[in-house]
Amino acid sequence: MRIASYNINGINGRLGILIDWLDETQPDAVCLQELKCDDGKFPASALEKAGYAAIWQGQKSWNGVAILSRGREPVETQRGLAGEAEDGQSRYIEAAVNGVLIGCLYLPNGNPAPGPKFDYKLRWFERLRERGKALLASEAPVALVGDFNVMPTERDVYAPDRWRDDALFRPEVRKAFGEMIKDGWTDAVRNLHPDENIYTFWKYWRQSFERDAGLRIDHFLLSPTLLPRLTESGVDRHIRALEGTSDHAPVWIEIADAG
């Protein structure tokens, strides 16, 4: 079973790229972030023609997350995170797909830091952590998938010293990610490739992709009950090279069938 994550940065503006990539790589489940469209403008019928059922949590202009499932309906288990009643930002949706519980998330960017946006990021991270604890306690096979907006280690940044004070790399945020690892989650891609420089995002500016000046910020956190089935991971870098593409590349993992 292939599970992919893709921050598409505007789903309707890049629908052709998305459909072609689905046809090419045929992931079984896809977590999308930054839809940048409200619920009514989500391209459900085009995706259905491509063979994918979907659930989504849209929002006009910003944010927005979706889970696609190839050939079967995702069974929604939650949308949004508890703990902040006034939160109108669409950043979390969760569903069971083929026996795996998948939480699709788009963690807040948090810049500028310090400031209210950074505070919101840290609160959101804690709310995710709480949801994660409940999922771990269930002992279900779970993957928390998406754009975490954090580089967990120096290896995940092309130039760490330039990012020290950034909301994606500040100690508070890396610590929050580390707390989830302590809770029992495993960073799937890093687990398979401990010593490689792997990036999933490159700025549009200054020919970042051509220079491979990237960041690894799109992650898969696996529960201990799912981790033994992890076999492979990769980044579809050729998608980032296309004209009119997102600033993120799709990332994927392979999960073996349940024993």
Binding of residue 45 to DNA (CB under 7 A): no
The answer to whether the CB of 150 falls within 8 A of the CB of 217 is yes
The smaller minimum CB distance to DNA, of residues 1 and 8, is found at: 8
Taking CB under 7 A as the binding criterion, the range among 30-38, 78-86, 93-101, 132-140 that sits at the site for DNA is: 30-38
Sheet-wide strand order for 251-255: 52-57, 65-70, 29-33, 2-7, 251-255, 230-235
**189 token code pair:** 């891609």
Binding of residue 62 to DNA (CB under 7 A): yes
Taking CB under 7 A as the binding criterion, the range among 48-56, 59-67, 74-82, 220-228 that sits at the site for DNA is: 59-67
Binding-site string for DNA from residue 73 to residue 102, where x marks contact by CB under 7 A and - marks none? ------------------------------
At its nearest, how many Å lie between DNA and the CB of residue 245?
A: 8
Give me the torsion for CA of 134, 136, 139, 143, rounded to 10°. Answer: 110
Identified catalytic residue from 6, 52, 92, 106 = 106
Q: Check if 218 is active-site.
A: no
Binding-site string for DNA from residue 204 to residue 223, where x marks contact by CB under 7 A and - marks none? xxx--------x-x------
User: Could you tell me which residues come within 8 angstroms of residue 137 by beta carbon, excluding any fewer than 6 positions away?
Assistant: none
Give me the torsion for CA of 56, 85, 102, 141, rounded to 10°. Answer: -160
Binding residue for DNA, selected from 78, 109, 153, 191, defined by CB under 7 A:
109
Q: Check if 106 is active-site.
A: yes
Amino acid in the structure at residue 258: A
The answer on whether 166 is annotated among ligand-binding residues is no
Q: Report phi then psi at 134, rounded to 5.
A: -65, -40
**206 token code pair:** 């200054």
* CB burial readout 180-205, b (16+ within 10 A) else e: beeebbbbbbbebeeeeebbbbbeee
For DNA, the binding residues in 114-153 under the rule CB under 7 A are 117, 147, 149
Q: Check if 219 is active-site.
A: no
Active site residues: 106, 147, 248
Chain positions contacting DNA, by CB under 7 A: 7, 9-10, 12-13, 34, 36-38, 60-62, 108-109, 111-112, 117, 147, 149, 168, 201, 203-206, 215, 217, 244, 247-248
List residues forming the annotated binding site.
7, 34, 147, 149, 247-248
